[in-house]
Amino acid sequence: MSGTSGGRQGGGRDRDTAGRARSARPRDGLGRPLPYGANGVGRQPEGVVRSPEDTVTQAQALLDAGKPFHAHEVFEDAWKSGPEGERALWRGLAQLAVGLTHAARGNTTGGARLLRRGAGAVEEWAAGAVGQGRPYGLELTELTSWARGLATVVEREGAAISAVAWAPRLRGRRG
């Protein structure tokens, strides 16, 4: 035995430059790990501080490209770096993206559960954010309807859905 495991030295866990456990395995567009050495989709850099508008724009581009896992990482950055009063909004949006990820991977139970949880979180935030209207152009009512509708579809169909075909419009319908 050579002392390496899956492309890692000494069989230990992959670590980032700060020493945190971080898998170096490439991933596909839905965030699933691929074998070491495979061509994967580039990862979203973590810990990026973006304006809310840039967050929504970048997440929408990733959703449109069928990469909801990557969109969730963009929302997660906003959740972790944004103002305390908006963290529940960004966390709810991240849950919607993860729900879409699971549904596209064929995990219908987990997908439906996260879609409903995210819809509830976004709806709860909107109810408490008096005077916010459409923060950053987000159509929160449409998003919660989309999420609950998709949750019903994935439960009924019991099969993976297309992340591209079901990508939500964060700022409303295409026109």
Q: Estimate to the nearest angstrom the gap between the alpha carbon of 159 and the chain centroid.
A: 19
- Left if phi > 0, otherwise alpha if psi is -120 to 50, otherwise beta: which for 156? alpha
Taking the CA atoms of residue 131, residue 175, residue 162 and residue 66 in that order, the dihedral angle to the nearest 10 degrees is: -70
Average pLDDT over residues 106-130: 94
Domains along the sequence of the chain with CATH? 52-157 (1.10.3450.10)
Distance CA 22, CA 20 (A): 6
Confidence of residue 168 (pLDDT cuts 50, 70, 90): very high
10 burial (CB, 10 Å; 0-12 / 13-18 / 19+) is exposed
What does the pLDDT look like over 45-65, one tens digit per residue?
778 889 999 999 999 999 999
What per-residue confidence (pLDDT) applies to 78?
A: 96
Average pLDDT over residues 128-144: 86
On the question of pLDDT at 149 being above 80, the answer is yes
Within a 13 Å sphere around the CA of 49, how many CA atoms are in the beta-carbon half? Answer: 3
Is pTM beyond 0.85 here? no
